[in-house]
Amino acid sequence: MTSEWLGYIVVHRLSSRGWFRVISKPSFWLILALLVLITIPHYREVIEQPSFFANLLANAGLDRHAFERILYLVPIIWAGFAFGWKGALITSIVALACMLPRAIFISSSPKDALFETGAVFILGNAVVFGVGALRGEREHRVRLAAINYISNLVSQSLELKQILDSSIDSIIEVMNVDVVLIFLLDDEAGELALHAHRGVSDSFVQSVNRLKLGEGLNGMVAQTGEPVFTKDASKDLRLTKTAVREEGIRSQIIVPLKSKGEVMGTICVAMHSHRQFNRDEVELLAAIGNQIGVAIENASLYEQEHKVAEQLRASEERYRELFQNAHDAIWVHDMEGNIVSANMAAARLTGHEVEELCHMNVKAFLSEESLNIAKDIRIRMLQGKPVVQPYEQRLITKGGAEAILKLTTNVVEVNGEPVGFQHIARDVTQEKRMEESLRFYLSQITMAQEEERKRIARELHDETIQSLVVLARQLDDIASSDKGLSEYKRILLSILRGRINDIMADVRRLSQDLRPPALDRLGLVPALEWLASDVEKRSGINVEVKIDGVGRRFPAEVELVLFRVAQEALRNVLRHSQATSAEVAVELDDRKIKITVKDNGKGFDLPETTGDLVKQGRLGLAGMQERIQLIGGSLEIESSSDEGTVVVIEAPV
């Protein structure tokens, strides 16, 4: 702004138009006339002053020429008021030129005359400078008052439209201009958008509604951040919109709207007639622009905060609606367990009203066992340890019934500090009861199957095999008798005797498969050793049994289930794996038993879930899973193509 303004001043002061403008003012000719009227009697002795005036000067201790020198102060001071300190300086030099010839060559007291001449020169300029300083101070105060006035206006509201409207009205009042335009910068589009205006037509507004950065005077100010002024916009080559000329806009000042050094837009004041804006007006408008820029930024921040607040409010309403209408029970309690919020599903689950819940402690719903589970979950979550969720928890309802829940718990934090817990619970009581009933029915069916197997195995052993033994002995008796049997018949009887022996072996093996006698007589470990030996004999697969721990008897149900699962695993090795070796590892301790069956066969690709085993026709693996669950155990299978299979069976004892 400084370099452009100084360039303008120099051009303006030295141009012929500037001198013409000075000469055309009446004050110039009045000052010139005063100088002439004072100078003529100063040199013409024949022009006498009135006697009363001469006596007055004599009583004041002044002679005629001293008074005339004092009169030169009038045009000097007048020039200061009319043309500023430069005009006063020029006028004082002219007055000095008028006074010096008489003081030096004509005066009878040259020293006194020179002193008076110098005093007039100095005093006149001192008065002008003093008055100019006072005027500058007054103008400075006026500018400050105007800035404060506008600052107070724009700070009274955080609504952008109200800020811009009040700013325009204030600028028109303070600067006495015809037109005010306020453009705001759209950073994303790289354009200026006209947001407020006064003193222009609708067609003009439509024409300059949006300006690109660098387009026209406003676009140039927004791009450079420096003010621009023009004496006649209609002749300014920097204009790109003909609407400015058509609107009849002449003199303009355009300054940037700034906040924290960033350009936020422009403000343009203009006249429909020619007007010479001075530097003070430019600085005043720039200061006003800065005030408006700060107000616009505050309004923008307020609008953003308002939008965020609205979004938060809408989000909170949506959350509250989801919270209240959720099918699952949700409640929040503080670190002491006092419930602070609960939804309708929680009320239905517990049997208490929502308002009643919000004045209760969670301990009222928990048994001693459930409370210990809750304490353990709380400690693990506060320590940042992993918690398997959802987890099972039991709750006592208002009516005293026990509800089984699948519970998901989260820590509620404020500023990084835990202040409570949020629980989302689903009532699975009916599902759990049905699952337990189904498991009980399955257990009963399995036990009935095993009893039937045991009965059939006993009948095969005690009746069928014994009958075959009797039949074999009878054939032996017939073959060894001397009743004239031919050699052919004796050979035929011998063949029949061999077939009976094969049948007895198959029946004996079937009986042992149905219910190995070793399982009932000796226990699980000997039964597994027999099973491995039997598989090895029948298939040629090398099956090794490893025992870790002291062998002992376990509950009959546990032994039976573990044996059947291990038996199915070895049958899969025999039927599908194409393995050459297998291993059965048994690990025994006080709390559990672990059986690992692995082979070096071709393996297979496991499905993602256990339920997919049935879909893929792997009924044996699905049956193993169901059997082990009957005794609270677990089954894990690891397998992949060409890398064998590992089956891990675990059960509590």
Residue 72 domain-assigned (yes or no)? yes
HSE-CB for 593 with a 13 A CA cutoff: 22
Residue 447: the pLDDT is 72
Domain shared by 556 and 613, yes or no: yes
User: Which residue do the tokens 């697969």 mark?
Assistant: 541
Domain shared by 555 and 595, yes or no: yes
- Residue 117's pLDDT band (boundaries 50, 70, 90)? confident
**253 sits in which H/E element:** strand 252-259
Residue 604 makes CB contacts below 8 A (sequence gap 6+) with 576, 639, 640, 641, 645
* Phi, psi (rounded to 5 degrees) for 651: -150, 140
Domain stops at, among 388, 409, 427: 427
* Residue 51 clears pLDDT 60, i.e. is over it: no
Residue 10: the pLDDT is 36
Residue 197 domain-assigned (yes or no)? yes
For 575, which DSSP code?
Answer: I
Residue 472: the pLDDT is 79
Domain shared by 399 and 368, yes or no: yes
User: Which residue do the tokens 């507004």 mark?
Assistant: 205
The alpha-helical segments, DSSP class H, found in 335-428 are 344-350, 354-357, 368-382
Q: Is the peptide bond before 50 cis (omega within 30 degrees of 0)?
A: no
Beta-carbon count within 10 A of 471 CB: 15
Residue 9: the pLDDT is 39
Supply 50's token pair: 């009135």
CA distance 421 to 387: 14
Residue 15: the pLDDT is 43
Residue 153 domain-assigned (yes or no)? no
- Give helix 160-175 / helix 279-325 axis angle, nearest 10°: 170
Q: What is the mean pLDDT of residues 19-28?
A: 74
pLDDT, tens only, 268-277:
888 888 877 7
CA distances to 250, 263, 321 from 339, rounded to whole Å, are: 73, 52, 19
pLDDT, tens only, 332-387:
989 888 988 888 888 888 888 888 888 888 888 888 888 889 899 899 888 888 88
* Residue 240 clears pLDDT 60, i.e. is over it: yes
CA distances to 164, 620, 624 from 631, rounded to whole Å, are: 79, 18, 12
Residue 315 domain-assigned (yes or no)? no
Domain shared by 109 and 227, yes or no: no
CA distances to 604, 631, 636 from 611, rounded to whole Å, are: 17, 20, 14
Instruction: Render 538-557 in DSSP notation, one character per residue.
Output: HH--EEEEEEES------HH
User: Which residue do the tokens 């940042």 mark?
Assistant: 384
| 16-30, 414-428, 502-516, range with the lowest pLDDT | 16-30
Burial class from Cβ neighbours inside 10 Å (0-12, 13-18, 19+) for residue 318 reads exposed
Residue 158 domain-assigned (yes or no)? no
Domain shared by 421 and 441, yes or no: no
Asked if 31 contacts 75 with a C-beta cutoff of 8 angstroms, the reply is yes
Domain shared by 581 and 632, yes or no: yes
Residue 401 makes CB contacts below 8 A (sequence gap 6+) with none
Residue 185 domain-assigned (yes or no)? yes
pLDDT, tens only, 570-620:
888 888 888 888 888 988 888 888 989 988 888 877 776 655 555 555 666
* Residue 13 clears pLDDT 50, i.e. is over it: no
pLDDT, tens only, 57-111:
556 556 777 877 888 888 888 888 877 778 888 888 988 888 888 888 888 788 8
251 three-state secondary structure: coil
Nearest to 163 by CA among 264, 80, 81, 93: 264
Q: Is the peptide bond before 390 cis (omega within 30 degrees of 0)?
A: yes
Residue 14: the pLDDT is 38
Task: Please report, for the domain that includes residue 250, its CATH number.
Answer: 3.30.450.40
Residue 153: the pLDDT is 57
Supply 178's token pair: 């015809």
Residue 346 domain-assigned (yes or no)? yes
Domain shared by 131 and 6, yes or no: yes
Asked if 339 contacts 333 with a C-beta cutoff of 8 angstroms, the reply is yes
Nearest to 181 by CA among 163, 201, 197, 161: 197
Domain shared by 653 and 623, yes or no: yes
CA distances to 168, 226, 252, 383 from 211, rounded to whole Å, are: 20, 17, 17, 59
* Residue 512 clears pLDDT 80, i.e. is over it: no
Q: What is the mean pLDDT of residues 514-531?
A: 79
Domain shared by 454 and 532, yes or no: no
**443 sits in which H/E element:** helix 429-459
Task: Please report, for the domain that includes residue 347, its CATH number.
Answer: 3.30.450.20
Domain stops at, among 460, 483, 515: 515
Cα 553 from chain centroid (whole Å): 62
* Residue 267 clears pLDDT 80, i.e. is over it: yes
pLDDT, tens only, 279-337:
777 877 787 777 777 777 777 777 778 788 888 888 777 777 777 778 888 889 898 88
Domain shared by 280 and 403, yes or no: no
Instruction: Identify any residues that bridge with 100 across adjacent strands, giving them in sequence order.
Output: none
- Residue 505's pLDDT band (boundaries 50, 70, 90)? confident
Domain stops at, among 269, 304, 339: 304
- Residue 6's pLDDT band (boundaries 50, 70, 90)? very low
| Domain carrying residue 630 | 522-653
For 49, which DSSP code?
Answer: P
Instruction: Identify any residues that bridge with 267 across adjacent strands, giving them in sequence order.
Output: 182, 255
CA distance 345 to 606: 39
Q: What is the residue type of 21? A: R
pLDDT, tens only, 392-413:
888 888 888 888 888 899 988 8
Q: Mean pLDDT, the chain, as a whole number?
A: 79
Number of domains comprising the chain: 5
Long-range interactions of 366-372: CB distance < 8 A, separation 24+: 366/394, 366/395, 366/396, 367/394, 367/396, 369/394, 370/394, 370/395
Q: What is the residue type of 453? A: R
CA distance 391 to 401: 20
pLDDT, tens only, 530-563:
888 888 887 888 888 888 887 778 887 888 888 8
Domain shared by 220 and 294, yes or no: yes
Q: What is the mean pLDDT of residues 628-648?
A: 83
Residue 532 domain-assigned (yes or no)? yes
- Residue 54's pLDDT band (boundaries 50, 70, 90)? low
Residue 439 makes CB contacts below 8 A (sequence gap 6+) with 629, 630
User: Which residue do the tokens 């498969």 mark?
Assistant: 513
* Residue 188 clears pLDDT 60, i.e. is over it: yes
- Residue 8's pLDDT band (boundaries 50, 70, 90)? very low
Domain shared by 214 and 274, yes or no: yes
Name the percent of the chain in helix, strand, coil, to the closest 5.
Answer: 60, 20, 20
Nearest to 179 by CA among 251, 280, 277, 232: 251
Length of the chain: 653
